[in-house]
Structure 1
Amino acid sequence: MNDRTLVYSTYYNPVEANIVRAKLEDAGFACFLADENVATLNPLYNQAIGGVKLIVFERDVESINALLTENIELAADSSNMDLPDNAEIVNDLVICTSCGAKDAGYGMATKHKHSWWVIAISFLLGGVYPFKGNKCYHCYNCGFEFE
């Protein structure tokens, strides 16, 4: 029997990747993480290596999809997730509204990091580094940022 493996999903946060891996291992699926050590030791290399990759057996993909979809539905019922109106969640990932990729994550904005009023107040306070940064969803595939 030919057991092929494949990259099931990619994570730019090693902690998030380990949480998903632990869920799958608790459910009895064999899986492992690739590039976890590089991403943990030097997070600046995440973009270059493509993030932490979750590797699973091809035969388990349908069962894993069902398990993670069930977990997402339970989490969405128990909490009020603050997602954009046009964002969609698939397999515990936020889908990019521009290109449809599953590599969108929530974090510090890169294009419009600081509001004009933050910059103005920081300037008036003597050039102190801006004290508040904007956060949004960022697509690691196309670079699009959305709220």
Structure 2
Amino acid sequence: MKENLVKIATYQFSSEAQIFKGRLEAEEIKVYLADQYTIDTDPLVSNAIGGVKLLVAAEDEARAKEVLKELSEYSLDDQGHQLHCPNCDSTKIDYFTNVNDVKSFLAFIFNFLLFGLYPIYTKYEYRCEDCKTKFNLE
């Protein structure tokens, strides 16, 4: 019997999808990932093929969406509390990498272009989605 699967989320990398898959499986929801191995083979095609798709059976769709809604969409501190922007006090904070200094740029060129690898050295920062302020916790 063929199951009727529904896409409930997409992720740029399979590691992200695996985290949410594990959370849904903890709730005993059967989960499938589509295009996971394609993106693991070449992460640069993720945007072209629409990312890793998180699929569940149609009858589990509503419950799976509720479980995902409970999870925080934005960054949390080490104690699990929402981070607040130092400029506007928003809680819409994302954690991202950037290549904006010489050391990061050289690491990117050396590792990615020579070996096809992601950079070993990158700089991480938090960014407020509302006012675009970049900051670190230190």
TM-score calculated relative to the size of structure 2? 0.58
8 Å CA contact 1:3–1:59 kept in 2: the answer is no
C-alpha deviations, 1:31-62, integer Å up to 9, x for none?
20000001111111111111110011222122
Is 1:54 aligned with 2:43? no
Mapped partners of 2:126, 2:20: distance in 1: 22
The match for 2:97 among 100, 104, 108 is 108
8 Å CA contact 1:7–1:56 kept in 2: the answer is yes
Mapped partners of 1:76, 1:108: distance in 2: 16
Letter of the aligned partner of 1:47 in structure 2?
N
Q: How does 1:115-130 map to 2 (within 5 A)?
A: 118=101, 129=106
Aligned Cα RMSD in Å? 3.8
Query: In 2 relative to 1, CA 35–106 (structure 1 residues): closer, same or farther, beyond 3 Å?
Result: farther
Query: In 2 relative to 1, CA 39–86 (structure 1 residues): closer, same or farther, beyond 3 Å?
Result: same
Is 1:42 aligned with 2:19? no
Mapped partners of 1:49, 1:15: distance in 2: 17
The corresponding residue for 2:15 is: 15
Secondary structure (helix, strand or coil) at the match of 2:106 reads: coil
Secondary structure (helix, strand or coil) at the match of 2:39 reads: helix
5+ residue gaps, structure 2, are 108-120, 134-138
Query: In 2 relative to 1, CA 41–81 (structure 1 residues): closer, same or farther, beyond 3 Å?
Result: farther
Mapped partners of 1:14, 1:132: distance in 2: 20
Mapped partners of 2:91, 2:16: distance in 1: 23
Query: In 2 relative to 1, CA 42–3 (structure 1 residues): closer, same or farther, beyond 3 Å?
Result: closer
8 Å CA contact 1:14–1:39 kept in 2: the answer is yes
Report the identity percentage.
24
Deviation at 1:69, TM superposition (A): 3.1
Query: In 2 relative to 1, CA 45–136 (structure 1 residues): closer, same or farther, beyond 3 Å?
Result: farther
Mapped partners of 1:9, 1:67: distance in 2: 12
Mapped partners of 1:60, 1:136: distance in 2: 34
Deviation at 1:13, TM superposition (A): 1.8
TM-score calculated relative to the size of structure 1? 0.55
The corresponding residue for 2:65 is: 65
Letter of the aligned partner of 2:80 in structure 1?
S
Deviation at 1:72, TM superposition (A): 3.7
